[in-house]
Amino acid sequence: MRCCSPPRPAWVPTCSSSTRSRRSTGPARAAGTGAWDWPPWRSRSRSRQRGSTIPAMLLPDAVCPHSTASPRLGPRAAGDEVHRRCCRGQPRELLPASCPGMAVPLGEPERGRAGRAGQGRTERGSAGQDGMVQGGAGPWDHRIIKVGKDPQGHRVQPAPTTTITPNPEQGAWLNNKGAWLSGNGRGLTEGGWLIGGGPTPRPRRVPLTSRAGNGGSGPRPLHGADRCGAQRGGACSALLCPRGWGGGGLATAPRGSPSPPPPARRGVPPPGPRVPRCPLHAPCPPVSPTSPVSPYPPYPRPPCPPISPHIPPPPQTPCPRGAAPPHLTPPPPPGVLPLSQAWGRAPRLPPSPLPAQRRAFSNNKILVELDESAGVATMKFKSPPVNSLSLDFLTEFCISLEKLENDRACRGVILTSAVPKIFSSGLDITEMCGKSTEHYAEFWRAVQEMWLRLYSSNMVTVAAVNGSSPAGGCLIALTCDYRIMAENPKFSIGLNEAQLGIVAPFWFKDTFVNVVGHRVAESSLQLGSLHPAPEAHRIGLVDELVPEEKLKDRATAVMQQWLALPGKGGTSWAVTECRNGDLTCVGGPGIEAGSCVSVGTGGVGGWEVGKLSKAVRAALGCEGCAWHTAGRSAGCAGRLPPAQLAVPALLSRAGGA
């Protein structure tokens, strides 16, 4: 129930006050032009000011005192009355849809009343009639559309069908009847209609049936499961509560639907397909038709707890290990990667005396088996024929890794392949040609994220290389703490990009240099060498060779050795950032950002995406910063003064066992 009632944002004005403030700020006309220079109700700017993106247009009319008149007078009459009483004959185009004066859908007989809205700016044709609607002076001068036709020139249905022409730059929308709409893409209101949309304009017509929910005082916020705030980690705004908000659901009209479905009675779902109820929220208790319960939701309402999308909320029982379970740890601030949570994890626990517990989860590309008693997971690549690193693979890799990061039972990961003779063939070449620029960007972001997450993992990472491992496959192995390879001379490993006529990105190169040293890396990269296993061992590219059948056992033994070390048994590292010429610790595993050794001024924020990428960019761009790991330093560490180079070594592990 708590989650079903929609929140009333603290800043939301009541209808009357918002009407007042709108009037007080007044829709100013540009001098001499007669055009409205800015719609004063533009909720977008209001929302921005208040740090919210919820447009005022989505305000509940429940907060409008006028709405009390609605049951008595009926929606039309109430609308007329309020329009006269409060809105002082303002052109309808300039009224917010949350005003009950707009309760009657445009396109109904009232339409004629609106007349012109600003000389020379918008001129409303009758619905369905072709005619020009053009912008006048003002920010939307350029806007010219045809009444009765959509932007593609297709003829559209007469009113109340609405075609929306978005102007993302201005945050304003124009319909085919010349009325300005306001909103931020999460929902647009026009009279008795509420038009769904997304940040990318996706015109959908949704007849507003929710008026029935409170006696018909005006438009209701649209809610669909796809818009549930809780599903995006925010507060739920589910409006499907039968206690008043929308009468149990909003029907979604198919495109071009000629008319809205008949209004529903309060508490009775309207006909038509129902928007699915938010699966994250408990259903509201049934409300009897005669229930004296207020149809309006109580507010302010505490926000729903942050819940990862698609993961059902875990039972909030005490953690058997005595520490706060991960889902009860405070959510990271906005813009902070969840990875940071892993840094703050409680000290490792000694191996459990209980019998070995194994868990496994799998996705299409990767099989993960977690031995809880050992605290070790094995990630097996299973993407035949060659485990190429496609976007899907990389995404699933990062998700699996993050799951393990956040799993308190897991302290180390062994990476290996379930495909015979191939560890990984590297980046999927088909992802790098014939695709859109956006796809390339997404793909490369995924490649980098894979590298960053693995390199910065809080867990011990061991690569059990049981097959060939060119290019990107080699990068995965290089990014681990330790590499064991099957001693099969047919298996080779290396950064062979030069043989393909491409250049290994500099962060591939840096990772390579960190492992094999400068000179070996230089010649190997220049030749694009793929080193057979024995040679790879000789040059230090892999740490040891073992017969293939012993690879798993050896990897497990190495892992135990690492995990037996004090502290987390993992790598110790910190991101350092250059500020005013000084290095500052941004954070690291078990190291609170800003609370560890810092050289120079203050600590900085933590694992914040922007800052991290800035640090990494700076590190890799040799701007005087370095991204360090204990025992290996990436980037341009060589340029740093010795004192700064010593910083990572000074970092002691906090929170170790």
Ligand X SMILES: CCCCC/C=C/C(=O)SCCNC(=O)CCNC(=O)[C@H](O)C(C)(C)COP(=O)(O)OP(=O)(O)OC[C@H]1O[C@@H](n2cnc3c(N)ncnc32)[C@H](O)[C@@H]1OP(=O)(O)O
In angstroms, the CA 176 to CA 160 distance is: 10
Write the Ramachandran bin of 596: left for phi over 0, alpha for psi from -120 to 50, otherwise beta: beta
Angle at 320 between CA 318 and CA 323, to 5 degrees: 70
Amino acid identity of residue 510, one-letter, is D
Sheet with strand 180-182: strands edge to edge: 164-167, 172-175, 180-182
Residues that bind ligand X (CB under 6 A): 385-386, 388, 422, 425-430, 432, 468, 470-472, 496-497, 500, 502, 504-505
Report the distance separating Cα 631 and Cα 97, nearest Å: 62
Catalytic residue list: 427, 472, 496-497
CA distance 456 to 575: 9
In the sheet that holds 626-629, the strands lie side by side as 582-587, 573-579, 626-629, 632-635
The residue among 500 and 649 lying less far from ligand X, judged by its C-beta, is 500
Nearer to ligand X, 14 or 383 (CB): 383
Q: How far is the CB of 387 from ligand X (least distance, A)?
A: 8
| 615 within 8 A of 576, measured Cβ to Cβ | yes
Query: If you write DSSP's letter for every residue of 515-544 in order, what string do you get?
Result: HH-HHHHHHHHHHT--EEHHHHHHTTSSSE
- Looking at the Cβ atoms of 296 and 491, the one nearer to ligand X is 491
What is the closest distance, in whole angstroms, from the C-beta atom of residue 473 to ligand X in the complex?
A: 7
Q: Which is nearer to ligand X, 338 or 505 (CB)?
A: 505
Question: Rounded to 5 degrees, what angle do the CA atoms 614, 620, 623 make?
Answer: 75
Q: 391 vs 559, which CB is nearer to ligand X?
A: 391
Nearest position to ligand X, beta carbon: 426
The CB-of-637 to ligand X minimum distance in angstroms stands at 23
Give the shortest CB-395-to-ligand X separation in angstroms.
16
Q: Are 106 and 161 in contact (CB under 8 A)?
A: no
Exposure on the CB side of residue 612, measured as CA atoms within 13 A:
18
- Quote the CA–CA distance of 328 and 342 in Å, as a whole number: 13
Please calculate the CA angle 528-534-536 and round it to the nearest 5 degrees: 40
Give me the least distance between CB of 443 and ligand X, in Å please. 10
Cα separation, 281 vs 313, in Å, equals 9
Among candidates 363, 342, 417, which has minimal Cα distance to 386? 417
Rounded to a whole number of angstroms, the minimum distance from the CB of residue 447 to ligand X is 8
DSSP 8-state secondary structure symbol assigned to residue 95: S
Would you tell me the crossing angle of helices 506-516 and 609-620 to the nearest 10 degrees?
70
Shortest spacing between CB 388 and ligand X, in angstroms:
4
Report yes or no: 401 and 453 within 8 Å, Cβ to Cβ.
yes
Q: Is the dihedral of CA 34, 37, 40, 42 positive or negative?
A: positive
Instruction: For residue 511, give the nearest of 562, 464, 447 by alpha carbon.
Output: 447
Structure tokens, 159 = 């009113």
C-beta closer to ligand X: residue 136 or 467: 467
| Minimum CB distance to ligand X, residue 641 (Å) | 33
> How far is the CA of 525 from the CAs of 424, 508, 519, in angstroms?
19, 10, 10
Min dist CB 306 to ligand X, Å, is 36
Q: Taking a C-beta distance cutoff of 8 angstroms, is the pair 463, 415 a contact? A: yes
